[in-house]
Chains A and B, each alone.
Chain A
Amino acid sequence: MHGWGIAQHIQQRSRDALSVGQGSVYPALLRLQNRGLIDNEWGVSENNRRARYYHINGLGRRELKAKAKDWRRYAEAVELILSAT
C-alpha cells in the first residue's frame, strides 16, 4: 500500500477519529523502515503514476503481534479501571 492509501485506510477504519495530519504517516513509515519492520519498493499506482509501496515483513509481523497484545492488555487494564469507578 502506498502512503496515501495507508493514510486513507487509517482514516476510514478509525471512522475519522485519527485524521490528524495525513502527512504524519511519512516520518512514521521512515522510522519503521529504519527499524527493519517494513520494506518498500517503487511501483505503479492505480492511476498509472510512480508511487512508493510499503509492506510489512516477517520481523514487522512478529513485532506487530507482540505490540498488539501489549496494547490490548493495556487498553483492557484501562477499561477495567474506568469501569470500576
Chain B
Amino acid sequence: VRPEVRFHPAALLAAVRGKWRALFDRDGLERELDEEMRFHLDMEMEKNLGAGMDPAEARRAALLAFGGVDRITEAQRDARGTRLLEDLVADVRYAARALAGTPVFVAVSVTTLATAIGTATALFTAANGFFYRALPVPGGTDLVAVFTSDYDGRSRRGASSYADILDFAKEAAPVAELAGHARVMLGVGVNDNMVLAQGSIVSPGYFRMLRVTPAMGRIPNAASPEFPAIVLSFTLWRRTFGSDATLIGRQVRVNGQSFTVVAVAPPGFRGTSREIADEFWIDGAFAPLVMPGETFMESRGARRFDVLARLRDGTPLEALNTRLGVVAFRLFQDHPQAWRDTTGHGRAVTAMRERDAHLADIPRGGVVLVVGGVMALGLGLLAIASTNLASLQLARGAARRREIATRLALGAGRGRVIRQLLAECALVVVPGTIAGVIVSIAVSALVSHYRPIPLPSIDLALDWRTLGFIAGGLLLTLLVFGLMPALQTVRSDLVSDLKGVNQTGTGGIRLGGLRGGLIIAQVALSVVFTAAAGMVAFALARDAALGRGDARNVLVAQVNFLPAAGDSQRVRALTDVLIADIAAIPGVGSVSAADFIPVRGRRRTVAAELRGAGGETRRLVLDANGVQPGYFDVVGLSILRGRDFTPGDARVVDPAVIVSRAMADALWPSGEPIGQRITVDARGRSSSAEVVGVVADPVGQGPATAESFPGVLFVPMLPGAEAELVLHVRVPEAQSATAGQVMQRLRDESLRLVSPEVMTLDRYYERVVFPQRLIANASGVLAIMQLLLAVAGLSGLVAYVTALRRREVGIRVALGASRRSVLGLVMRQGIRLTAVGGAIGLALSLLVSRVVALSLPVTMPVVFNALLVAAVIFSVTGAIAMWLPARRALDLAPAVALRTEG
C-alpha cells in the first residue's frame, strides 16, 4: 500500500478499529468468522448438490475447495496483525497466575529491586547533578564563569577581587551581565536566636544576572543600595526564623549589625557554588559593616570572589573574552602591583562555560574515576540484586522442569517458553523499578525540602541522563534476572524431565556453573555484609566503652566570637568573664575551655623540633590542642607528673606545654620529661617551650594511624587569636536545667559571640559517629537481606537435589544406608558451595576491614570477632536452611521413592 493511502485518516481509523476488536472483542470476531465460514461451506455444498453430487460428496468437495478450515482460521488470526500482542497478553496473564502462587518470592524480589534501584538512582542523580548539570537557575546552561589567572600564571582559573569585578562588569555590560560572590561565615539572627551561617558577599546585579525570583520580598535595585539589606535562603528563613511570613522589612542582626530582610530566596536556590550551600546574601557595599578591619573589599590584590556572567542574547563567548582581555590589560597598566604575576606578565582574564569550567577544575581522570566509581557502585548494587533474583528464579525453574518440559513437548517453541519466563520477570522487575524510582524521587524530594544536611546548589531533578541510567539498569536486571535463568531452564533434557527421572549417574548432578557461581556469590556477599556490620558495631562499641564515662558529666559549647567582641585582649577578657560567670551557676563544678574537641577524624597538629642528646634535631608533627587552666580537671584527665597550666603560662614567649603520657614515653623514653624543652611552631612563630606536666592519654583523639605520632601536646590557649573556642563545663550529672542556664548566659552575649548549642560531651561524640552508626545499621539491614536470599538459594538447591535423587535415595535406604550417608548425599553440594563462598566472603571481609579502618579504630580482635560472628551466623542458618529440605529425603519410604517414575 502506498504511503498516502496507508496514512489516510480513514485507513488509520480502520486499522485502529481492527486492532481494537482483535484485542478486546476476540470472542465476537471468532464468532463472526465461524458464521461466515459456515455460510460459505453451505453455499458451496448447495452448489455441489445442484451439480448432482450426493450430500456426503458435496460436503467433502466443499471442504476441499475451501482449503482447510483450521488453516484458514489461523491465517485469519494472523491477518488481524495483533498476534504478538495477543501472545504477550496471554504470557502476562499466565505469568501473573504463576506468580500469584509465590507471594513471598514476589515480595522479596520487588523489595530487593526497589532498594537497589532506588539507591542506585539516588547515587547517580547526585553524581550527575554535581558533575554534568548546569546550576539550577533559569537558563543555567547559558552561564559562563570568569577567571583571573593565578599569581604564578600557571592556572588560568583563579578568583577575582571585588574592585576588579566592578571594572569587569562595566566593561562587559554591552555583551553580558556579570557578578561575583565570596563566601563568608557570619552570625545571623534576632535577639538571642543567633546562628553561625555560611553565606556570600555578592557584587551588584548578582540576582538579576542569575534571574532568581525571590520566594518572598523583592531584591532591591542593585545600582544604588540605600540601607544594609540581607537576602535569606529559604532554609535559613524556615529554620532560624520559623517561616515567619512577616519577616520581610524587619531588622535582623548580622555579626551584631542591623540589617533589613528584603527577600527570601526560592527553596531551590542555594547560591552558585556546587560544593557549599549559601544561607544568606549581602551586597558588597555593606561588607565592611560586618567585617570591620577586613581589607579584601578594597584591595585589588585580595582575590576572593568567584565570578559568573550571562551573555546577552546571541552574543558569542569570544565577544566577552575580547572585552575581558581589554580590561585586564588596562588594569595591569593602572595597578601593576596587583596585576603582575610572578613571571612578570599581566594576569589574564578569561571566560568559559560555567559547566565546563566546573569540570575543568578537576583533573580529567579524577572525574572519570569518581563518576565511574559511582556508576559502578550503582550498577554493582543492581547486579547483586539481579543476581540474587536470578538465583531464586533458577530454583523456581528447577521446580518447574516438568511443567516446562510438558509445554515444550506439546509443541511450544523454546522461544515461546523463554518469552513466558521473561514475562514473569517483567512482572517483578517493572513494579520493582517503579517502586525504586518513586523511592529515589521521594528521598531526593524529602532531602531537598528538609535539607537535613546543607546540600549545595546541584540539580537533583530527573533528567534524560538519569532516565537513561534507570532504563539501562532495568535492561541489565532483565538480562541477568530473566534471560540467563530462562535460557538455562529451557536447555534441559526433555525426555528425562518428562519422566520425572534424572540420571544421577556416578558423576553426580551437574548444577551448571551459573547456578553454583550464584550461590557462591550469595554466600560470599552475605558473609561480607554480616562481617562489615559486625566490624562497625564492634568498633563503635569499643570506642564508646573507652573511658567515656566522664563524657556524660561534661557540657560543651562551641563559641565563635564576632567582630564586635573586639581585639584579642578583649576576647580574652570576655572569655575569663564567661568562665567565671558560668562557674557561678549553681550545680556547675568547674569550667574551662579548649581550642576544639578532639574526636575521631578531627585533629589539629603543630610542627615541632626536638634537640636530641647528641645535638641532632628531630622534626615532628604532633597532635595538639590549646587549653585553659583547669581543662584536665573538667574532662577528667589526671595529671600524672608536674602541674596544670596557670593563667601566667598563657604567653607567646617561652610558653609552658604539657604532654600526654604516650607522647612523653615516645619523646623521652628514658628520662624525666618535666623540664625538657621542645621547639613548637605555633601561630606563625616558633618558640622554645618547657614541659611542665604529664597527663593521662585522652581517649578518642585523632585516628591513631601508623604514621601519626602517639599522644597529644597541650599548649596554653590564647583566646582571640582564632576567635573560636569550646567551653567545657563539669556538672555532677547531665541536668538540662544547668545546660539551659549556660545557654542563657551565652545568649546574653549575642552581640559579641555565636554559640548554637550546649550539649553533653557524650552527645557530641554520638553525633560525630552518627554516619558510622548509620552505615552499621544499613550494613546490618543489607546483611539480613543477603542472608535471607542466600538461605533461600541454598535451601532451594538442596530441595532440588533431593527431588532429583529420590530414586537413588530410595534404593540406598532399601539397601540399608544410614541416615548420615543419605543426608550427606543430598547436602554434599550445598556444603561444598557454602564452604567456597564462605572462604571468599571471609577473605573479602578482610579487605572491607581496611575500608572501615579509615574512619574507625578497627583492631585485630574487632576484625576477628566480626569474622567469627559472620561465620557462625552463616553456618547455623545455612545448616538449617539445607537440613529442612534434606530431611524430606530421610522421611521417604523406600517403596514410595522407588515407585516415583511416572
Give A residues with C-beta under 8 Å from B: 2-4, 7, 19-24, 26-28, 30-31, 33-37, 45, 47, 49-52, 57, 59, 62-63, 66
Partner of B11, one of A2, A3, A23, A59: A59
**Are A3 and B72 closer than 8 Å at their CB atoms?**
no
Q: How many A-B pairs with Cβ below 8 Å?
A: 98
Residue B46 interfacial (CB < 8 Å) = yes
Knowing A22-B67, A62-B5, A66-B2 are in contact, say whether A36-B37 is a contact too (CB < 8 A). no
**Are B35 and A24 closer than 8 Å at their CB atoms?**
no
**Are A45 and B76 closer than 8 Å at their CB atoms?**
no
Knowing A3-B36, A36-B14 are in contact, say whether A47-B79 is a contact too (CB < 8 A). no
**Are A23 and B39 closer than 8 Å at their CB atoms?**
no
Q: List 6 A-B contacts (CB under 8 A).
A: A21-B65, A27-B76, A28-B79, A31-B79, A35-B15, A47-B43
Q: Which residues of A contact B25 (CB under 8 A)?
A: none
CA distance A5 to B10 in the complex (A): 26
Interface string of B59-98 (1 = CB under 8 A from A): 0000001111101100110111100000000000000000
Partner of B79, one of A4, A21, A27: A27
Interface string of B865-896 (1 = CB under 8 A from A): 00000000000000000000000000000000
Q: Which residues of A contact B76 (CB under 8 A)?
A: 26-27, 30
Q: Which residues of A contact B15 (CB under 8 A)?
A: 34-36
CA distance A63 to B14 in the complex (A): 15
**Are B13 and A36 closer than 8 Å at their CB atoms?**
yes
Knowing A36-B13, A52-B32, A59-B11 are in contact, say whether A24-B79 is a contact too (CB < 8 A). no
CA distance A26 to B68 in the complex (A): 12
Residues facing A in B1-26 (CB within 8 A) are 1-2, 5-6, 8, 10-15, 18-19
**Are B5 and A63 closer than 8 Å at their CB atoms?**
yes
Residue B430 interfacial (CB < 8 Å) = no
Knowing A23-B66, A50-B35, A59-B11 are in contact, say whether A4-B75 is a contact too (CB < 8 A). no
A35: min CB distance to chain B, Å: 6
Q: Which residues of A contact B12 (CB under 8 A)?
A: 36
A46: min CB distance to chain B, Å: 9
CA distance A36 to B76 in the complex (A): 17
CA distance A59 to B465 in the complex (A): 45
CA distance A85 to B283 in the complex (A): 95
Residue B44 interfacial (CB < 8 Å) = yes
CA distance A23 to B35 in the complex (A): 13
In the complex, besides A21-B66, A50-B35, 8 extra interface pairs with C-beta distance below 8 angstroms are A20-B67, A34-B14, A34-B15, A34-B18, A35-B14, A36-B13, A57-B10, A66-B2
CA distance A2 to B160 in the complex (A): 88
Partner of B67, one of A23, A28, A57, A66: A23
Knowing A4-B43, A23-B66 are in contact, say whether A36-B72 is a contact too (CB < 8 A). no
**Are A3 and B75 closer than 8 Å at their CB atoms?**
no
Most B CB contacts (10 A, CB to CB) among A2, A36, A47, A50 go to A36
Knowing A23-B37, A33-B18, A52-B32 are in contact, say whether A4-B44 is a contact too (CB < 8 A). yes
CA distance A19 to B36 in the complex (A): 19
CA distance A31 to B1 in the complex (A): 11
**Are A35 and B11 closer than 8 Å at their CB atoms?**
yes
Q: Which 3 A-B residue pairings sit nearest by Cβ, starting from the closest? A: A21-B67, A36-B14, A36-B11
Q: Which residues of B contact A51 (CB under 8 A)?
A: 36, 39
**Are B42 and A22 closer than 8 Å at their CB atoms?**
no
**Are B79 and A23 closer than 8 Å at their CB atoms?**
no
Residue of A nearest to B6 (CB): A35
**Are A23 and B42 closer than 8 Å at their CB atoms?**
no
Q: Which residues of B contact A59 (CB under 8 A)?
A: 5, 8, 10-11
Knowing A26-B37, A63-B2 are in contact, say whether A36-B67 is a contact too (CB < 8 A). no
**Are A22 and B5 closer than 8 Å at their CB atoms?**
no
